[in-house]
Amino acid sequence: MSWLLQQRGNLLVSIQAYTFSLMFLLKTNELAQIFTKNSGFKVFSDLLERECTEDHQVAYNVISALWIMSYHDFSLKFFEDYSLFIIERAVKVLDFFNKEKVVRIVLLLLDNLKTSSEGCHEIMSDIAVLNLVIKL
């Protein structure tokens, strides 16, 4: 995990392999905690802003990793952080891709976050997630 976090600025592997590795490693609770302690959500925010709008597989990998992280109480504060724009950027991916698997994983992420905390409710209300779901 540490190696992956250090590689972010200068990748030695493809972006698809990088995001898949993150998704795979975050399934382990201890590694998920290490990831959050080492500014991992900043990595997600950056990926959602750039690479996730260019490649649907990268978007799927990143949002799947976010979905995994949404099950952990220690990571919820990062979803609520207005400066990271995690929820907003995850939903924005749907403007770029309408692949079924991308739509499905975004909806699964939103489903987890709707029961998690008031902060996530506020953000989802601010960005009109209900209108998006109705449109879908």
Q: Where is pLDDT greater, at 40 or 60? A: 60
Check residue 86 and give its pLDDT.
94
The overall average pLDDT reported for the chain is 91
Whole-angstrom Cα distance, residue 54 to residue 19?
14
Question: For residue range 50-88, what is the model confidence (pLDDT) as tens digits?
Answer: 999 999 999 999 999 999 999 999 999 999 998 999 999
User: For the whole model, what pTM was predicted?
Assistant: 0.92
Whether pLDDT at 3 is above 80: yes
Are 51 and 89 in contact, with CB atoms under 8 Å apart? no
Check residue 42 and give its pLDDT.
92
DSSP-derived secondary structure for 91-115:
HHGGGT---HHHHHHHHHHHHHHHT
Q: Tell me the two tokens of residue 88.
A: 């907003």
Q: Report, as an integer, the average pLDDT of 28-51.
A: 93
The total domain count for the chain is: 1
Q: Tell me the two tokens of residue 59.
A: 């978007």
Q: What percent of the chain has pLDDT over 90?
A: 65
Whole-angstrom Cα distance, residue 118 to residue 33?
22
What CATH number should be reported for the domain holding residue 62? Answer: 1.25.10.10
Q: What range does the domain containing 61 cover?
A: 2-135
Amino acid type, 76: L
Whole-angstrom Cα distance, residue 29 to residue 49?
26
